[in-house]
Each structure stands twice: as C-alpha cells, then as structure tokens.
Amino acid sequence: MTYTFSAGLAPLTGTATRDIFKLLTRPEIISFAGGLPAGDCLPVDAIREITGEIFADPGRSLKCLQYGATEGYPGLRELIIPLAEDLGITGIGADNVLMVSGGGQGLDLLCKAFCNPGDAVLVEDPTFLGFLPTAQSYSARTIGVRPGQGGLDLEDLERKLKEYHPKLVYCIPNFSNPTGKTYTVENRAAVTDLAEKYDTIVIEDDPYGRLRFAGEPVPVMKSFDKADRVAYVSSFSKTVSPGLRLGFVIAHRDIIRKLAIGKQGADLHSSNLTQLIIKTYLEKGYFFPNIEKSLPIYRKRRNAMIEALDRYMPEEFTHTNPEGGLFIWGEFDAAIDTAEIFNAAIARNVAYIQGNVFFAANPPVNAIRLNYSNEDPERIEAGIRVLGEVFKEKIALSRPGNRM
Ligand SMILES: Cc1ncc(COP(=O)(O)O)c(C=O)c1O
C-alpha cells in the first residue's frame, strides 16, 4: 500500500538525529548529541511539592483536570509579563501572550499562521534543525542567510529580503542552537529595522537566553520592535523541564489571536496540569533560584569541554566558546566528512551531531555540534579524548599519499 501524503509532509523523511537518538539510550554511550538539560537542574522536589498541593486542593484539582482556555490557564499569562519586562519587553498585556506546548509549537503555529505553499522563510545558516522541517511542512521554502560578525550578515539578509520577500525571518539571537553564538545589540536592532523596512515578521526564538553563565546580557530583539514585527518565542524546557512541554509566544495581539485559532486545531490548549504547575512554580518564586543553581553546573561543563577540545582535538579544529546555552560548534580545516566519521565515533561509544543537518543550503561536511549540558565533566573529558583520537586518525588518513 502506498499512501499519498500532503505536499508539505511527503518530501520529509525525518531528521538524521532521530536515528541517532535511538542509539543514545545505551548507557555506555557518552552523548554530546542531544540538547537535554542536566538532570541535576530539573527541579524534582519543587514539582513534587507543587503537584501534591494541587491534588490536595479539590478546587484546583478539578480545574486542572477539566478543559481550559486556548490562550492559557487563568492568571498564567499575567505572570509572563514580568518575565518579559525583565528582558526589556515593555508595554504588553496578557492578550499579547499565548501559552504553547513547548516553544516548538510556537514555531509551528507561526509558520501555520503566515506561510502559504511556496513562500520563503529566511533562516540563519546554520539554524535549529527542528525548525527546517516545521517550515517545510507548510510547503515553505527555507532559504539560508549567512552569519556575519556578531549576528546575521546584514548585507546578505537585505539582499534576500529584496529577492525572496520572505514571510518570516527565523533567528536565535541568544546562544544559538547549533553554534552557541549570540548577536550583538547593533545586529539585533538592525535586523528588526530591516524587518520593518521589508514588511516581514521576525521569529525571535529564545529558549536559551536565561542560561547565561558568562559575559553581559543583551536586550532581546523584541525590545527594539517599535513596529510590532517581532514574534518572541520562549520556553520553560531549558529553565524548568522539557518534559512538562510549556512555552509562550509574545507578539501583537492580532498575531496572538490568529495563533490561538491555529492552536485550537492542534491541541485545543496546553496541558492544564502543566500550566498550573508552572504558574505555582513562578508564584512560589522557584524560577530564578533554580536557574541560579543551574548556571554554575553549565559553566563547569562548558569549561570542561573547552579544555578537553583544546587539549585533545587535532590542530585543524576550531570551535566557538559560548557564554551560555548548551552547545559548542566546531569546524575542521581538513577534508573530512563528519557524517561518515560518526560511525567510527559511535563504535567507540561517543556521539555528536554532524554539522550538515543544520543548514538550509550548501551544508559543509566538516562541522560538528557538541552538547555539554547532559554529561558530567569526567565523561566530557573522556568522550572528547576519544573524539580527538578518532578525528586525528581520520585526518591522517585523508592526507594525500595516505588515502586508502
Ligand atoms: C532553538 C530551539 N528552539 C526551539 C526548541 C524547542 O523547544 P521546546 O519545544 O522544548 O520548548 C529547541 C529545542 O531544543 C531549540 O533548541
């Protein structure tokens, strides 16, 4: 039996990383492949306490076990406002906020709301691997914009805005997945101005901004957005728990209304239990202390990985040094294919993600993404030592005269 799937989904075959994740359940694998928060940063005791309190209270129990409003659990959107103000986003009310089932759903709803088949969506190359199939599932064309100094290459961005008239420009200005890089203030302001000039919408995807363990914070792009061109998407996945599946979108109320209509067809509303847990978590003041507790853990793991990379990787390897978030990006100045070498690394129980899967166009074969948040410093050191051996061996073999 062959099925005739939609034009959006038919060409999509699932990302290479889904197969990698199947391998990662093996405990002997040291994984730098995922994007999971550290287990030590998941607030198990707080969630146990809150859940116990909810179900000890008949009124709240019934409320969270019933159907609810699409926009969000009563009172929760109001609690997002001070979180947004803390980032420099001012002048918003609850009707500028939509609670979503993870930031990923916010991205999906924005594509659903703005993209017709064939529309262009600009993304930074490289970009979040999950966003590419999301936009493509609405039959949008994803077009890569070159990275520049301190953010997007503004000339390339403007050229592509003129040429493609994109509906959306997707960026991750804080500690990008996959590169760990952050845009400068000037770049954020310039991208926002260009969105206004060329009448498009910027999706500012910011799941990692709160995870800054070095350097100075930079105001979010949405704070420069005088013309309501920026849809800000964030998530509790990396600051509280990814399993709870809760995020939010902040945008002009007309956009929020349209996204809510799209969400009704997707899941009606995000889990009331999850929303009530996060609402109570915020009210009890647990949010910021848990992040404060997490930052030294991530700084230590980043440091362990940087030290190990500098010590064990071949001299042809260069890497980013993120001030927050979960990822380091590395490139080899050598003729090697990191997708092919993956099997040699896995055979020695170490996983990474090949860099080519993060590109809309012209993917390079010599890059890798490394995640440091979900392994302790000892395993990071051991895993990078193995990767260093594997890559040195492959580079030696790839030199002229040594080819097999
Ligand atoms: C850049 C980026 N955006 C969005 C997401 C989706 O996160 P979630 O749906 O768990 O909030 C992720 C997850 O890794 C991400 O890295």
Q: What is the pLDDT of residue 22?
A: 73
Q: Helical H runs in 32-184?
A: 44-56, 58-65, 76-85, 103-114, 131-136, 154-164
Whether 244 and 393 map to the same domain: the answer is no
The rounded Å distance from CA 303 to ligand 1 centre is 23
Q: What is the pLDDT of residue 233?
A: 98
Whole-angstrom CA distances from 188 to 4, 198, 220, 221 are 42, 16, 8, 5
If the chain, 404 residues long, is cut into consecutive pieces of 10 residues, what is the mean pLDDT of each piece? 90 73 82 94 98 97 97 98 96 98 98 98 96 97 95 98 98 98 98 97 98 97 96 98 98 98 97 98 98 98 98 97 98 92 95 95 92 97 98 87 59
Last residue of a domain, one of 286, 320, 347: 286
Q: Which of 235, 239, 241, 248 to mutate to test the pocket of ligand 1 (most atoms within 8 A of CB)?
A: 235
Tokens standing for residue 26:
């093996």
The rounded Å distance from CA 401 to ligand 1 centre is 44
Tokens standing for residue 311:
């010590």
Name the 3-class secondary structure at 142: strand
Q: Does residue 7 form part of some domain? A: no
Q: Supply the CATH number for residue 373's domain.
A: 3.90.1150.10
Q: Which of 237, 239, 274, 326 to mutate to test the pocket of ligand 1 (most atoms within 8 A of CB)?
A: 237
Q: What is the pLDDT of residue 13?
A: 82
Beta-carbon count within 10 A of 109 CB: 27
Range of the domain at 115: 44-286
The rounded Å distance from CA 80 to ligand 1 centre is 18
Whether 101 and 241 map to the same domain: the answer is yes
Whether 306 and 258 map to the same domain: the answer is no
Q: Does residue 52 form part of some domain? A: yes
Last residue of a domain, one of 263, 286, 309: 286
Q: Does residue 71 form part of some domain? A: yes
Q: What is the pLDDT of residue 403?
A: 54
The rounded Å distance from CA 104 to ligand 1 centre is 6
Q: What is the pLDDT of residue 15?
A: 64
Nearest to 332 by CA among 380, 403, 404, 387: 387
What angle separates helix 58-65 from helix 44-56, to the nearest 10 degrees?
100
Q: Whose CA is nearest to atom 14 of ligand 1?
A: 35
CA-CA distance, 134 to 131, in Å (whole number)? 5
Q: What is the pLDDT of residue 375?
A: 96
The rounded Å distance from CA 306 to ligand 1 centre is 24
Q: What is the pLDDT of residue 21?
A: 73
H or E stretch at 304: helix 287-312
Q: What is the pLDDT of residue 24?
A: 76
Last residue of a domain, one of 256, 286, 316: 286
The rounded Å distance from CA 57 to ligand 1 centre is 33
Number of domains in the chain: 2
Whether 343 and 394 map to the same domain: the answer is yes
Q: Which atom of ligand 1 is nearest to the CA of 128?
A: 1
Tokens standing for residue 18:
């889904």
Q: What is the pLDDT of residue 287?
A: 98
Q: What is the pLDDT of residue 123?
A: 98
Instruction: Name all residues whose Cβ lies below 6 A of ligand 1.
Output: 35, 102-104, 128, 130, 172, 177, 205, 207, 235, 237, 242, 247
Q: Does residue 70 form part of some domain? A: yes
Buried b (16+ CB within 10 A) or exposed e, 78-88: ebbbebbeebe
